[in-house]
Amino acid sequence: VEVSAGGFHGRMVSLWELLFSKYVSEAKRQELLGKVRARSLELDELARLLSVLVQEAVQRSSTVKFTGLRRQVTASDLLDSGIIDKDTLADLVQGSKTVQEVTEMASVKRYLDGTGCIAGVLVPSKTDPAKMEKMTIYQAMWKGILRQGTALVLLEAQAATGFLVDPLANKKLSVDEAVSCGLVGSELHEKLLSAERAVTGYTDPYTGDQISLFQAMQKDLIVKEHGVRLLEAQIATGGIIDPVHSHRLPVEVAYRRGYFDQEMNQILCDPSDDTKGFFDPNTHENLTYMQLLRRCVPDPDTGLYFLKV
């Protein structure tokens, strides 16, 4: 059967493949199989019904939308990315679950929102050293608490994992917004915009296509060492970002879309000093982003992660 919608678009697929696809609910599948077994449904009619079911499911799921990193994400895209299953999609389409309810599911939230980056630093208060004071990474740099290089890589990691964070106001901002409101200085604008392309996408100079961070590294559009650092930060905060679809991906889907490969996975699973791109100002060790993130403390009110210095 040739199907003109969804993941099977333009392909010849078997009835069996269609029947057990994500577009057909368990209940509908059992109903159709029962009719086939009872010989009350011919195979050509089954093919027609399945084709219609796929088209209807795709149309309905494209009208249910979630908030992605930079744009709206359809429910069918989340299904194709393995972030929701077909039962959840059916619940959304039928109205038995809301977008808000599905967004709050831990298995979905990590791919839409991420699991949290290093948002700021905690320093002993000048008025009461027993208390800790929250500070933005940029403030800590200007006050000499963090070295400029240390602060820059932490801010680049924020930009590359979604947004720059104002930990005092609990706000997420794009790089342009952060520079406009003074969260970071204009001297960092270009460097942070470059890191933000890990979220918004790099432009392939040959095709004009939007490509991911890993693909940009493969085409030498970004220095490998820098790219590894940003990629590792993405994985540590919820998953590799698909800039085309504006959300994070499970690792196996990232492999399939060419946003990651076994060699890079090995580099990140077995970090050497070359790939430990983040400096702990307390111990003077070079660490991975995940290691440094584990040394942070979550704010009890906002859940944001702060590094004590």
Instruction: Give me the pLDDT at residue 28, please.
Output: 86
Report H helices in 62-162. 75-80, 86-94, 99-103, 106-112, 137-142, 148-160
Residue 51, pLDDT > 90, answer no
Sketch the domain layout of the chain as residue ranges.
1-61, 62-113, 115-308
Contact between 175 and 192 (Cβ < 8 Å): yes
- Measured between its terminal Cα atoms, the distance across the chain in Å is 63
Instruction: Give me the pLDDT at residue 99, please.
Output: 95
Residue 61, pLDDT > 90, answer no
Instruction: Supply the mean pLDDT for the chain.
Output: 91
Secondary structure percentages of the chain, helix, strand, coil, to 5 = 50, 15, 35
The structure's pTM equals 0.82
Contact between 306 and 299 (Cβ < 8 Å): yes
Residue with the two structure tokens 């029947």 = 19
Residue with the two structure tokens 């208060």 = 125
**pLDDT digit string (tens) for 71-105?**
999 998 999 999 999 889 888 877 789 999 999 99
Residue with the two structure tokens 């470059």 = 194
Range 220-230 average pLDDT = 93
Place 4 in a pLDDT band, splitting at 50, 70 and 90.
low
Place 199 in a pLDDT band, splitting at 50, 70 and 90.
very high
Residue 54, pLDDT > 70, answer yes
Range 36-50 average pLDDT = 91
Spell out the CATH class of 115-308.
alpha beta
Calculate the alpha carbon distances from 127 to 132, 163, 282 in Å.
10, 32, 22
Side chain identity, residue 28: K
Is the pLDDT higher at 272 or at 35?
35
Largest CA distance in the chain: 83
Instruction: Give me the pLDDT at residue 6, please.
Output: 63
Range 237-244 average pLDDT = 95
**pLDDT digit string (tens) for 130-146?**
899 999 999 999 999 99
Is the pLDDT higher at 295 or at 55?
295
What does the radius of gyration of the chain's CA atoms come to, in whole angstroms?
23
